[in-house]
Amino acid sequence: MEGAVWCADVLLAPVPARRKDSNIGIIVHSYEASSSADDALLFFLILISLFSSLHVTFFASPSPSHKKRAELTASASVTSVDLTASEDKYMELLLKQISVSYESMKLFMSEPATENSQLESLIALCADLHDQDAAQLELKVIKYLREHTCSESGFLLLVVPETLELISQVVGSTILPEEVRFPGLWSCFAQALETKQPMFLEHIPQDRRAEVEKIVEKPVHSFLCVPVACKDSHELIALACLVNKSNGQRFGDDDIQIVRQCFKYTATVLTSTLAFQNERKLKNQTQALLHVARKLFTRLDDLTKLLREIMQEARNLTDAERCSVFLLDQDSDELVATVFDGISTNNKEAQAEIRLPKTQGIAGHVATTGTLLNIKDAYSHPLFYRGIDDSTGFRTRNILCFPIKDEEGVVLGVAQLCNKKTGTYFTTFDEDIASAFAVYCCISISHSLMYKKVIDIQYRNSLANELMMFHMKQIPTEEVTELAGKKIPNIKKINPVFDQFVYPPRSLAETQTPLACMSMFDDLGLSTRWRLKRDTLARFLLMVKKGYRNPPYHNWMHAFAVGHFGYLCIKNLKLDDLLDDIELLAFFVSCLCHDIDHRGTTNSFQVKSQSVLAALYSSEGSVMERHHLAQSMCILNTEGSNIFENLTSKEYQQVLDLMRDIILATDLAHHLRIYDSLQTMATRGYNKNDPKCHNLLLCLLMTASDLSDQTKSWNNTKHIAVLIYQEFFSQGDLEKALGESPIEMMDRERACVPDLQISFLDNIAIPVYRVLAEVFPEAQCIADCVHENRQHWVHKAQLLKMHNSSAQTMSVQEIIALGEEEEEVGSHHENS
């Protein structure tokens, strides 16, 4: 055989000519120099030498293509024997057997090398998982999987076993700024969670593949998801996801095996790292709760500030967008919210206080059941009320509502969190934190309420001492007996026009007013209808009269004038056809009691001066009105003064509730809040069957009665103005003494009385009587009288300008006296 060369592909190329001393050259390319396949090759060549007397020599040289590989050249030279044809054929067959055997041996030896290489990579990966940080661990595992499966991207979805939530912290080579949570069973990964089997792109419906593309932020043409389970419990701990295999190939069983092999060694490290991370997170949250507790317990002196602090800390702990806190009013069985978080509506009254029935809505459900409620989709929940969202423009996506309970399980209130900012909904971890936080909320709220009760008791004791020293003395029995023993005169005996709107009640002597009140009770039929004892009514009226102080305007005569106007309304406007008997009783009594113990100062002054009254009532608003109500209740609770003693318990509670609403309605701020509703009622007409109309009408009548001095003749009204501004200017002087700057109305040095009166009539009084006249056409004469008085004030303002006089340098009496002589002369000529 002239020569043959065995090339890298292990093919034998024989040469036909045979000569003595011919050579056989065998060259083996690209094999591991240390491979035992070399030994097999040597063994076969030795066999050749035994059968053909060949002299075999070997040498190795470095491979130019790979540093760790070499090329082995084996040459055999025939030195003395000619090869016969049969030997030559035999030699060819032998060489072919050597070729095949060597190739098989080389293939066999290469497979363990690949496996060893993967194991070495896995060992290196496991050795590198020492960060005790789940995100870093995920990053390294994903990198390993991408490299060994030739994937473009990948991500791990950690599984929360209790809820099957999926958590994404790392995508590709990027750690997300905030972890992303979403419900696994509602996602395109549901099949993998339910079956615990691998899934490919074709297993995801076409319309849901965008979910994967959203995660990796690129088009997806191939996809593999392999569930990873815990070795012991077989619970899923993660979904390993790979995206876009290189060269447009699809993922297959080999890739699944690589993923499973990886987590066979890394799953334990992953679970322990997650457990460590959760413990660390829990520790941080516990420290945060302790910090929150310290902050809450510094707000016990102010419940409003405490509730704001609770709302803020609840938002911070759960990363919520908004929070509301409702306290349970045990008396009315309602949930009450007085502090709001970001809510802005056109209804100012709604912002002052929100009351919800205990059984209504999500907050009501939690308050009733005492159990936490985690709503992932608010709009699909049957208890969610969309009206607030519609009025505010805010959109509620998800809600976590939890009860605030004491150690006995009694619900004090509920807190409602809206819209998780770093996830699609609130998690079980948020639920745990909220439940722990609720304990601190309960303790702080309970202590705050208790602290307020203690402070209130102190203030009430102080106030009671003051009242006792001033005027709350027992009415002498002889005074009660004298009044009760007098014959109650007929209304017409007091004055022929006593029951008409033109009658000025201030013209009656003050000493005759208690008996006149008894006459009004009798004339309205209240004494008979409600079985009022004469001596009880007499003591009550004397106590009420004595309960008024003696400021220039807000004194007993003002109360009598208001009560008289209320009497006129009941009698002349036929209110008994529109209101219930008990409402008429409550209205008339409220007119007499509505300003008891008035100090001659406004609500704002009480707050600014930090008075005892402000300390008691400022948190609820309407400081003086609440004090008047409290004093009214005090008189009713005095022995022998309870005119409601013969009412049933239900009627008694009803009349007290009505008095509360009616007396609080004397606050003009309250009137302005409900004015639009009053106009609506006047336009649509009064509906006797609508309780809301009853309440609105009572409030309207009370305000009209309170301002009734403006409905009398000019001779009466101008003198009332003197009394009003005398009281206003006294308050202004007090404010100046406190270093405050009073408003123009209260400042004797800046007030222009005609202009102020015109403004008051235009903005307050005239609208009140206009609405009253729309509801009751019989009241048009009242509205006309108010307009006439306005014209007098306009005339006074004109006279000031004509005389170049400054209202600031003139007293109210001097301003009113301007032009009075001319008016009297004109009036005399008209009469003659």
List the binding residues. Answer: 554-558, 594-595, 706, 757
793 three-state secondary structure: helix
CA atoms of 131 and 122, how far apart (whole Å): 17
Strand 165-171's sheet: what is its strand order? 174-183, 165-171, 151-160, 236-245, 223-229, 199-200
Asked if 269 contacts 129 with a C-beta cutoff of 8 angstroms, the reply is: yes
622 alpha carbon, distance to own chain's centre: 27
Q: Which residues are annotated as a binding site for AMP?
A: 554-558, 595, 706, 757
Which spans in 170-302 are helix H? 190-195, 210-216, 253-296
Read off the tokens for 214.
């959203």
CA-based Rg of the chain, rounded to a whole angstrom? 48
Provide φ and ψ at 146, rounded to 5°.
-60, -45
Instruction: Give catalytic status of residue 554 as yes or no.
Output: yes
Q: Which residues are annotated as a binding site for Zn(2+)?
A: 558, 594-595, 706
Asked if 342 contacts 394 with a C-beta cutoff of 8 angstroms, the reply is: yes
Angle between helices 556-572 and 691-706 (to 10 degrees): 130
CA atoms of 797 and 806, how far apart (whole Å): 10
Q: What number of other Cβ atoms are within 10 A of residue 231's Cβ?
A: 11
Active-site choice (554, 564, 598, 627): 554
Q: Judge residue 384's burial from the number of C-beta atoms within 10 Å of its C-beta, 0-12 exposed, 13-18 middle, 19 or more buried.
A: middle
202 three-state secondary structure: helix
CA atoms of 540 and 525, how far apart (whole Å): 18
DSSP type of residue 763: I
Asked if 149 contacts 259 with a C-beta cutoff of 8 angstroms, the reply is: yes
Q: Residue holding tokens 């993967």?
A: 118
The DSSP bridge pattern shows strands 320-329 and 334-337 to be antiparallel
Q: How many helices (H) and strands (E) does the chain have?
A: 30, 17
Asked if 142 contacts 258 with a C-beta cutoff of 8 angstroms, the reply is: no
b/e map of 70-81 (b: 16 or more CB within 10 Å)?
bbbebbbebeee
Instruction: Give the residue numbers marked as catalytic.
Output: 554
